[in-house]
Amino acid sequence: MNITIHEALRAYIDPLTEHEYAALERSILTEGCRDALVCWGDVLIDGHNRYAICQKHQIPFKVVQNDNFSNIEDVQLWMIDNHLARRSVSDFQRGMLALRKKEIITARTKHHDTNAPSVEGEADIAVPVIKPTQSRQEIAREAGISSNAVVQIEKIQRTASPALVQAVRDGTISISAAAAVASLPDEEQQAAVAGGRKELQQAARQVREKIREQKAPTKIAKQVAESEESSDVNNGNAVTSHHYGGDAEVPVLQQKIIALQSENAALLKKIAELQAALEKVHTGSY
């Protein structure tokens, strides 16, 4: 039969790496094309790599039809679910696929809401609509990854350079490290990618250390403010409780409270310095 390659569909799913493609080619050359290609009419929707290898080496293959689609979006959703079911798909690819699924369903829902029938009588016609995936928890469950990984993948989508995205796909850098490097300007991202795995890890480490340093003063200020607020409350209670015993005790209590506040602030500052020193010694995993 005549098979048509739909370029948008072929590009929709991330391509195999060179290593994966070579392994698939060896398998087909040794055992033949065991899995049938799937077509929607004459459009190939699953098995693009197998088809290319079979064509190259003149290896026979089987084709099965799937006609349960009404439009190209249905095909895309089926392709996503089909790939999410495969164990060989990486966590990054799973997250990207689940986010793409959300985009398709959300766009479809908006289109349906905009074009909903308003004529009396037509409103009774039931039109099946898939509920869009909204929360990161739902997306994470769909992809089989953590909610934190979804947040990191969204950041990579927004700010990572193409070179950095490819490094994540290739497994050169982890999702969490890539999300950190994605905070850098494009030029610095590209330089880190060009430097290889160690350079990427070093760049991610530096970004994380900078973020921790920026958060430390804020954390200490919050702790001091909470301490002072607590002291103010205690001060008010002390004044109230001792007022009937004599006003002369109030200045003495206030001086003690001020001294305790000063001592507490000094201790918090010392703790922050020790924490910063420990963080520099113990780096995180990448």
The reported pTM is: 0.65
**Residue ranges per domain, the chain?**
1-89, 90-156, 214-281
The pLDDT score that the predictor gives to residue 94 is 92
Matching CATH number, 1-89, of 1.10.3470, 3.30.70, 1.10.287, 3.90.1530: 3.90.1530
pLDDT grade, residue 56 (50/70/90)?
very high
Which two tokens mark 186?
Answer: 């494009």
Structure confidence by residue, pLDDT tens digits, 145-161: 999 999 999 999 999 99
The pLDDT score that the predictor gives to residue 92 is 94
